[in-house]
């Protein structure tokens, strides 16, 4: 695996090395030793999958608070997504900064999202599947979110947003000078 730093502190793009032959290819998608060498969490206690029918669907921006904060390892297994993360750690040099990454079934790239980040994505194709293990079990009382169109974040989604859950449409906007979430 090749680990690429991003502009956001502690977040990484992980590029699997494909070993190909006439049958197809083989690749490791996670290795505890390599994750440890890069100071990444490798204990994933829950594995999630989402399916979105329509191109332009947005899911997120989600996070878990406190001891329930989770690292995520995002991989698109069918179709493609624009994956967006926002650093919510008040002591981070990249606090409230965001970055976008294209993850697809074709490029096999994965995004490591550290605890203390909000995470969301927009589907770039119809019939998209996303698989992501997380380091903490989902805890409804620790759940939080940011509005996808928060003017303070200024996220430029690549497509018109055509589908969004009621919950994701109702997350509060950030306020200038607001106390950090983490």
Q: Is it the case that residue 67 has pLDDT exceeding 90? A: yes
- The sign of the CA dihedral 101, 96, 63, 92 is positive
In the chain the domains, ranked by start, together with CATH numbers, are 2-169 (2.60.120.10)
What pLDDT is recorded for position 6? 98
Of 112, 119, 132, 148, the active-site residue reads 132
What pLDDT is recorded for position 177? 79
Gap between the Cα atoms of 159 and 138, Å rounded = 29
Gap between the Cα atoms of 111 and 108, Å rounded = 10
For residue 138, indicate whether it is catalytic: no
pLDDT tens figures, 143-181: 999 999 999 999 999 999 999 999 999 999 998 878 888
Q: Render 75-107 in DSSP notation, one character per residue.
A: EEEESEEEEEEEE--TTSTTTT-EEEEEEETTT
Which residue has 């690429």 as its token pair?
Answer: 4
CB burial of residue 1 (10 Å; 0-12, 13-18, 19+):
middle
CA angle 156, 15, 91 (to 5 degrees): 55
pLDDT tens figures, 109-126: 999 999 999 999 999 999
pLDDT tens figures, 7-38: 999 999 999 999 999 999 999 989 999 999 99
Of 4, 62, 68, 108, the active-site residue reads 62
For residue 132, indicate whether it is catalytic: yes
- Ranges of H-type helices in the chain: 32-37, 166-169
C-beta neighbour count of 77 within 10 angstroms: 15
Asked if 86 and 118 count as a contact pair (C-beta separation under 8 A), the reply is yes
């Amino acid at each position: 695996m090749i680990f690429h730093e991003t502009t956001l502190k502690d977040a990484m793009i992980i590029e699997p090395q494909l070993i190909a032959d006439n049958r197809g290819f083989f690749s490791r998608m996670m290795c505890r030793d390599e994750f440890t060498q890069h100071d990444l969490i490798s204990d994933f206690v829950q594995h999630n999958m989402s399916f979105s029918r329509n191109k332009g669907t947005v899911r997120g921006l989600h996070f878990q608070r406190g001891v329930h904060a989770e690292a995520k390892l995002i991989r698109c297994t069918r179709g493609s997504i624009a994956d967006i993360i926002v650093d919510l750690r008040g002591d981070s040099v990249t606090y409230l900064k965001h970055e976008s990454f294209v993850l697809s079934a074709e490029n096999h790239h994965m995004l490591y999202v550290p605890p203390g980040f909000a995470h969301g994505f927009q589907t770039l194709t119809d019939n998209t599947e996303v698989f992501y293990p997380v380091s903490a079990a989902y805890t409804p009382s620790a759940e939080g979110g940011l509005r996808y169109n928060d003017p303070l974040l200024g996220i430029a989604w690549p497509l018109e947003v055509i589908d969004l859950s009621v919950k994701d449409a109702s997350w509060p906007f950030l306020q200038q000078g607001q106390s950090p979430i983490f």
